[in-house]
Structure 1
């Protein structure tokens, strides 16, 4: 099942996807997806983000693939929903998307063995973890201005139950800018797969329900400009739509 959250009549409402692709309210009423005010599909806890977790992406950036997971943290301010706007700084010369499989933890876990790790997953979603390349000082330690900007990480629209994703390492990822395909890859090419990441993180800290692991992006990055519509899609999970706006026009955004 696909679960989501929208803001409706002053309240946060849990919704599911109907068979025809529309949004089903708890009452059974159906709404068009485009008419909804989308939130991230879960209330996120700690957000872990992976860098250089696809060998082709590491080569694209002329970096050696990491020998252990390259992980950094993101604040809750970074997360926004489906069909939201993300700001491009006025001084940016290169801002790119990152289509990523998002793993939502469903059970508290500590020191989980790799073979047991997937049993602790609630479900999967789509993330688009934008980066402003101008601000990047070191791919191994991206600074706050690169990865912790307000609304820089759309998540959603749905979380798909883990039981409905039998193999998270066999999913196609695609990104389109204004309808043109610019990135295509597969989760089979992850250097550290989902189970390995859960085992690694839980070896030194407790993972809790609502924690989210962003598992990295394959090669095929491209610059995005104000006015662009960006679609990041993962096979069987969903298509996350986001638009780029210039921060010059949204200086008073809350």
Structure 2
């Protein structure tokens, strides 16, 4: 397996290859893994995410999977990188992490079978599909602001090729404590199936990203928290939460809400609404 990263090197975006603790550019320049300023490892034309895929997530919400996957779109302006700040806008309170594995397309893909789909995958990286549930009441269908607001799609730290997604473990840690943990064999639909399903009607281009779902225990995080997603063989994606200094505008659009649906989604399917709001922190 080879791990490719994109970093800022002497002011320019450069693709590098990881060699232990050293990142090497094609021109011979190097940077240390811990000192490098990371960029998202790919530059997609689109980011597509599946709603439900892990059995534990389905059980947590007391629902059932549909007969086929359903999806939503995250705009490319939501992209973020390893060690980047995830911004919770002023006036919002219910920002949740969702640790995921991201599929990266390697060549133009359209109308392929699940058996063929692996040939069109460049590799895999780690993603964190943050959700700003304060907007869930107005965007529940599209998830546009919930999942597509700026900084809510960290990817990285690198793109790993020739990685087998079967039998791998995903963990999400908040301030060093494991919050999510699941195996990829818990997924109802595997990576090849997801690519083939989307490519039936949507052309996927090199660099495009598909987020493959999150397991149970997505919970609210707050400014000052450090969130890490680690996947066996892909490394660890680290981000920290900050508060945006500018409040959500009130002179247009729907405002953040704290309805039963917002609170129950943010706190997980095992939290029952009893008329008492969970504490806001930070």
Give the TM-score, by structure 1 length. 0.91
- 2:76 equivalent in structure 1: 76
**8 A Cα contact 1:102 1:126, kept in partner:** yes
- Does structure 2 retain, via aligned residues, the 8 Å contact 1:3–1:158? yes
The residue that corresponds to 2:18 in the other structure is 17
Matched, 1:201 2:202: no
User: What secondary structure is seen at the aligned counterpart in 2 of 1:111?
Assistant: coil
The alignment of Structure 1 onto Structure 2 pairs a total of residues equal to 247
Give the direction of change, closer, same or farther, for the CA distance of 1:204–1:140 in structure 2 (3 Å limit). Answer: farther
Which moves more between the two structures, 57-66 or 242-251? 242-251
Q: What SS class does the counterpart of residue 185 from structure 1 fall into?
A: strand
* Gap runs ≥5 in structure 1: none
SS in 1 for 2:108: coil
Q: State how far apart, in whole Å, the 2-side matches of 1:93 and 1:43 are.
A: 30
Give the CA deviation at 1:139: 9.2
Match of 1:239 in 2: 236
Distance 2:244 2:206 in 1: 34
| Distance (whole Å) between structure 2 residues aligned to residue 250 and residue 158 of structure 1 | 33
Are residues 1:6 and 2:14 paired? no
Question: What is the CA-CA distance between 1:52 and the residue it aligns to?
Answer: 1.2
Q: Which of 169, 176, 191 is residue 179 of structure 1 equivalent to?
A: 176
Moved over 6 A (4+): none
Mapped partners of 1:249, 1:75: distance in 2? 21
SS state at 2:134 partner: helix
User: Which structure 2 residue ranges, 5 or more long, are not aligned?
Assistant: 249-282
Structure 2-normalised TM-score? Answer: 0.82
CA distance in 2, matches of 1:208, 1:96: 29
What is the aligned-residue RMSD (CA, Å)? 2.0
| SS of residue matched to 2:241 | strand
How big is each residue's C-alpha offset from its partner over 1:123-159, in whole Å with a ceiling of 9 and x where there is no partner?
Answer: 0000011012232238973432201101111000100
Bigger Cα Rg: 2
TM-aligned CA deviation for residue 63 of structure 1: 3.0
